[in-house]
């Protein structure tokens, strides 16, 4: 005699809270700091910091940005968080994946060519 298998009933999905309610207060502050820093950087060089078509950044660009942090109440840690967020975006990685891409300084001048290994790393990560 086979026993009947129990039927599981799923709970109804409740209204999902908005993004702001899901994020902790600390995460919201991080996002606000990043947004403020992006506005500052876009005012310095809009072509480099275009959110939809970002350019690969020069190695060590944080050293070029530090002098501007004295003008606004922004920590180096906030800058590191911002750069981590910026360089992990899909659009930025796509820009790195171009074999003919160049890296750019804060003022928009070319800092050098993107290393072949960086292109390969992006291709591997996107698979």
Q: Does 75 map to a domain?
A: yes
The rounded distance, in Å, linking the Cα atoms of 113 and 99 is 9
What pLDDT is attached to residue 98?
Answer: 83
Q: Does 14 map to a domain?
A: no
Percentage, residues of the chain above pLDDT 90: 20
Look up the domain containing 61 and give its range: 25-126
Model confidence at 80: pLDDT above 70 = yes
Reported pTM = 0.70
Q: Any idea which of 13-17, 107-111, 117-121 has the lowest mean pLDDT?
A: 13-17
Q: Does 18 map to a domain?
A: no
**What is the arithmetic mean of pLDDT over 98-120?**
85
Better pLDDT: 69 or 87 = 87
Q: Does 2 map to a domain?
A: no
**What is the arithmetic mean of pLDDT over 10-29?**
66
Q: Does 82 map to a domain?
A: yes
- Per the structure, the count of domains in the chain is 1
What contacts 24+ positions apart, CB below 8 Å, involve 85-94?
85/34, 86/38, 86/54, 86/57, 87/57, 89/54, 91/51, 91/52, 91/53, 91/54, 92/54, 92/56, 93/122, 93/125, 93/126, 94/122
Check which CATH number belongs to the domain holding 37 and give it.
1.10.1710.10
């Amino acid at each position: 005699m086979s026993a009947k298998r129990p039927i599981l009933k799923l709970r109804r999905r409740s209204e999902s809270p908005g993004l702001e309610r899901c994020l902790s207060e600390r995460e919201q502050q991080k996002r606000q700091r990043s947004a403020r820093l992006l506005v500052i950087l876009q005012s310095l060089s809009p072509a480099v910091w275009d959110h939809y078509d970002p350019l690969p950044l020069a190695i060590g660009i944080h050293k070029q940005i530090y002098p501007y942090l004295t003008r606004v109440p922004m920590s180096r840690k906030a800058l590191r968080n911002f750069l981590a967020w910026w360089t992990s975006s899909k659009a930025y990685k796509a820009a790195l994946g171009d074999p003919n891409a160049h890296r750019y300084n804060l003022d928009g001048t070319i800092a050098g060519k993107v290393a072949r290994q960086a292109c390969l790393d992006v291709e591997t990560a996107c698979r």
